């Protein structure tokens, strides 16, 4: 996945988070951001990384989004890998 496609997917996930009345407060609380920050920082790759990192903490969230968006759940992980700092780590 290319970085621009990953950013678009992360923005879709952000929209899904904003629409989720139960999960949005958890995201805001864990990041320390306010709702204004969501609008102001949505174009920053570093912010989109935080969105993907948050969602990938829970398989159920990934699967819920993927089902709603009609995508492969692994696309969320592929998007994370395509953004800065998401390269696969090789321990050898």
Q: How far is residue 45's CA from residue 4's CA, in Å, rounded to a whole number?
A: 10
pTM for the whole structure: 0.85
pLDDT mean over 67-77: 94
Q: How far is residue 79's CA from residue 92's CA, in Å, rounded to a whole number?
A: 24
Which among 10, 17, 88 is positioned nearest to 49, based on CA atoms?
A: 10
> Residue 83, CB half-sphere, CA atoms under 13 Å: how many?
24
Predicted pLDDT at 91 = 45
Predicted pLDDT at 86 = 61
Percent of the chain with pLDDT over 70: 92
Per-residue pLDDT at 90 exceeds 60? no
Residues with Cβ within 8 Å of 17's Cβ and at least 6 positions away in sequence, in order, are 23, 24, 27, 51, 54, 55
């Amino acid at each position: 996945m290319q970085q621009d496609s990953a950013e678009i997917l992360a923005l879709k996930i952000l929209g899904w988070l904003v629409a989720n009345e139960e999960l949005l407060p958890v995201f805001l609380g864990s990041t320390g951001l306010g709702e204004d920050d969501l609008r102001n920082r949505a174009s920053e790759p570093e912010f989109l990384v935080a969105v993907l990192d948050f969602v990938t903490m829970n398989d159920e969230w990934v699967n819920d989004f993927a089902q709603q968006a009609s995508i492969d759940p692994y696309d969320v992980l592929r998007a994370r890998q395509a953004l800065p700092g998401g390269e696969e780590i090789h321990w050898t």
